[in-house]
Amino acid sequence: MRRMALGLMLLLCGGGVAALELGEIRLPDGFRIEVAVADVTDARSLALGERGTLFIATRRGGRVYAVTDRDGDGRFDPPRVLLDGLRMPNGIAIHEGALYVAENHRIVRYDGIEQRLQSPPEPVLLARLPTETHHGWRYLAFGPDGRLYVAIGAPCNICDEPGFATIVRMRADGSEREVMAAGVRNSVGFDWQPETGELWFSDNGRDWLGDDRPPDELNRAPQPGLHFGYPFCHGGEIPDPLYGRARRCEEFAPPALNLGAHVAALGVRFYTGKQFPEAYRGQLFIAEHGSWNRSEPVGYRLGLARIEEGRVVSYSPFAEGWLGAEGVSGRPVDLLVAPDGSLLVSDDHAGVVYRISYNP
């Protein structure tokens, strides 16, 4: 593991200069991290258009940004506000030239978006969602089956409310809605394993059971209809103090991997590029956003889960250093494999998108 002391960097961004204190980011040998897009307040979910436009969603900001590379030099131009005044537009996805946006209360579609960046069309309403704001920021993605998946988090820390704590899927037009996975407290990231097409997703564990329990989870859903335990069981083996007597942990699908308690695992992404060494291809990156209520902070890093035959065989840090002795300099959120094989990482604390590349 090589320590990459970046300090105060001056980075050209479309003619402007942005100064950012990255601290000391530790990466494996041969890897480099830099800022690809600056000045994106509350940068959260990422999606890439067919013409190369990078879309960046926010949670608190109510905005969706669009970033282009007009001169084709590999550097993104300054971000532009594409949509504004939305309600928690955390979830975004691209499908057949349209931008899909999951707000707190609905999913809408903007057709032909890359041809209309200067003047976006009126949204087409596809689905209405619950309006509760606790865990009300949605994650959105299209699966290999062509269906649209959206996470509907629990409206509480711990409760048993029908219609919540699920990942649901539907056709691209919003029809034929069904539950893909139940017992999912709050997933803010999922992806499909390229070889099998199976869904893998993060899930944030409940709060106020102490510093070290329960764990956050990485889960695998090889078929629809599985229940992953919430609110009855956590981490596959911890009965909940309030709801644990109603159901046994053995009744539920166990986690593929128990992560650290309170690390706030968000974005997950299988590496499908060719730039990184062979050992990284097909493996799963996880963005640990970082704890907010632990006596000693944890997370604030990227992890790498190595998977063989549907099982996680190891989990180790890949990029860390956003949590230092002087505090927090960044919080990774979402991940996206760029066309050149580099890894884009959003950071809602620093308001940037990083690019991690490999060049030995």
Helix (H), strand (E), coil (C) string for 145-189: CCCEEEEECCCCCCCCCCCCCEEEEECCCCCCCEEEEECCCCCCC
Domain assignment of residue 217, yes or no: no
The pLDDT assigned to 75 comes to 76
Q: How many domains does the chain have?
A: 1
**Exposed, middle or buried: residue 328 (CB in 10 Å: 0-12, 13-18, 19+)?**
middle
Domain assignment of residue 123, yes or no: no
User: What are the pLDDT digits (tens) for 108-155?
Assistant: 999 999 999 999 999 999 999 999 999 999 999 999 999 999 999 999
The pLDDT assigned to 19 comes to 35
47 Rama class: left (phi>0) / alpha (psi -120 to 50) / beta: beta
Domain assignment of residue 179, yes or no: no
Domain assignment of residue 208, yes or no: no
Domain assignment of residue 26, yes or no: yes
Domain assignment of residue 299, yes or no: yes
Q: Could you tell me if 121 and 146 are in contact, meaning their C-beta atoms sit under 8 angstroms apart?
A: no
What pTM does this model have? 0.94
Q: Which domain holds residue 340?
A: 1-38+262-275+287-360
Which parts of the chain have pLDDT scores under 70?
1-23, 72-74
User: What are the pLDDT digits (tens) for 250-279?
Assistant: 999 999 999 999 999 999 999 999 999 999
The pLDDT assigned to 22 comes to 61
The pLDDT assigned to 326 comes to 85
Domain assignment of residue 62, yes or no: no
Domain assignment of residue 94, yes or no: no
